[in-house]
Structure 1
Amino acid sequence: MTISSPVTNAPAGATIISARDVHKSYGSGQNRFDALKSISFDIREGESIAIIGKSGSGKSTLMHVLALLDAPDSGDLELDGVDTKRLRGRKLNRTRNKTFGFVFQQFFLTGSNTVLENVILPMKIAGVGRAERKRRGMAALEQLELADKAKNKAVNLSGGQKQRTVIARALVNNPRIIFADEPTGNLDSNTGAVVEDILFTLNREHGITLIVVTHDEDLAARCDRRIHIRDGRIVEDSSEVAA
């Protein structure tokens, strides 16, 4: 499988995401729930990181904050040296669409649309022209060995084919960071291993930063670094243990 490299702007190993004393809560009064408490760490360009923890630990909230899908209540979050508080409206959407790719356990494919239509969606949002959308979409499907499924309805794909379609969709805008939320959770072990291999190929051979949220200890062990979340706090960061 041949996978093209993304366009990157920072030197390898430079800090791409920096979080300082980040807090996030939901509700108010007696119903207030503190999902993140004083989160501080850096992510370097090209790292693979597993965010691990039990259900309700705050790991999914942390991913949403890092991916700019939600904003922290307090603290500082920088993306490539830019304070994310400065990113609003169209600028926020454009930054998120250009910088990140998303691979979710639930797939979030539109079953009635073709595989190609699902893959090119981020480019439609980005305003890429129709011919270029098709060219890049087909190139991504070829990389994931799904070109022959381009005209198939997404509903008719197997679980593994759906997840590879999701990865193709994540790649079409040449992201610098891929967020993967339980990417093998709905797959059998053999198909899951194939999906893992694709993600780590993108990370290790092409420099895409990989941030994985997972319960799977074996998947976490493949990452360069593991960040363990409990009750909204980082209780262990393997990079600090190694240091």
Structure 2
Amino acid sequence: MSTPILQVSGLRKTYGRGQNRFEALRGVSLDIGEGESLAIVGKSGSGKSTLMHLLALLDVPDSGRILLEGNDTAGLRGARLNRTRNKTFGFVFQQFFLTGKDSVVENVVLPLKIAGVGRRERRRRGLAALEQLDLADKAGNKALDLSGGQKQRVVIARALVNNPRIIFADEPTGNLDTATGSVVEDILFTLNREHGITLVIVTHDDDLAARCDRRVVIRDGILVEELAVTEARA
């Protein structure tokens, strides 16, 4: 069996001190296979977003280990951490985090700019990503002029521009109507199944979770349930 692309063991994370101390994660262990689609499900405050932030190396645990392709990430710092995150992960959040006055293509190529890719190559790859999302005709438009669904497709294009191994999506359809949300879901699962990109979705939406290969449930910072979707539907 191949090494999981992500392995975490005994993750603990606490915020605050004294009476305000809150244990967000309490010893979570989890393996994620390459090319898998995984839903992390839980109520608000359950710890699911904290887990995603740790998996994506956006935060560090108080204790426990995170292995990326079998390599311990604890030693990653500064520029090395940023390079690893930038080339390995793509991010799709409920909030679009687009710069409204910049053009669509300028928003898409931001990870490439951070990575030091030259202007001409940035534009080429940015336009290619927009073409993949049927948004090439909007490349020169201001981001603020787009609809909600178009903005989320721009966010997915930005997530794709660095050819990531893993896409993390935190409530990716939370700000969209049902029809538009379904389109965005279809795009994400097509990228997973046709391009082999590992997809990790944080959601409280059971219908969205049911589209994934596997679902894990977080409750009060503890992994309480882990099901293949076929088991969950039984």
Amino acid at match of 1:58: G
Cα-Cα RMSD: 1.4
Once the two structures are superposed, the pairs formed by residues 39-188 of structure 1 within 5 Å of their partners are 39-188=28-177
Matched residues in 2 for 1:191 and 1:240: separation? 24
Matched residues in 2 for 1:221 and 1:50: separation? 8
Residue in structure 2 matching 1:221, options 204, 207, 210 = 210
Matched residues in 2 for 1:75 and 1:241: separation? 30
Cα 1:112–1:234 change in 2 (3 A) is: same
Consecutive unaligned residues of structure 1, counting only runs of 5 or more, are 1-10
1:7 corresponds in structure 2 to none
Amino acid at match of 2:200: I
Shift of 1:62: 0.4
Q: Is the 8 A contact 2:4 2:33 kept in 1?
A: yes
1:22 corresponds in structure 2 to 11
Q: Deviations over 1:69-125 (max 9, x none)?
A: 000000111111111111111000000000000001111000010000000000000
Q: Deviations over 1:117-136 (max 9, x none)?
A: 00000000000011100000
- SS of the residue corresponding to residue 180 of structure 1 reads strand
Consecutive unaligned residues of structure 2, counting only runs of 5 or more, are none
Amino acid at match of 1:87: L
Residue in structure 2 matching 1:201, options 167, 190, 197 = 190
Q: TM-score, normalised by structure 1?
A: 0.93
Matched residues in 2 for 1:187 and 1:240: separation? 24
Cα 1:200–1:241 change in 2 (3 A) is: closer
- SS of the residue corresponding to residue 183 of structure 1 reads coil
Shift of 1:240: 11
Cα 1:65–1:198 change in 2 (3 A) is: same
Amino acid at match of 2:27: S
Matched residues in 2 for 1:125 and 1:95: separation? 12
Amino acid at match of 1:219: L
Aligned length: 231
What percent identity do the matched residue pairs reach?
73
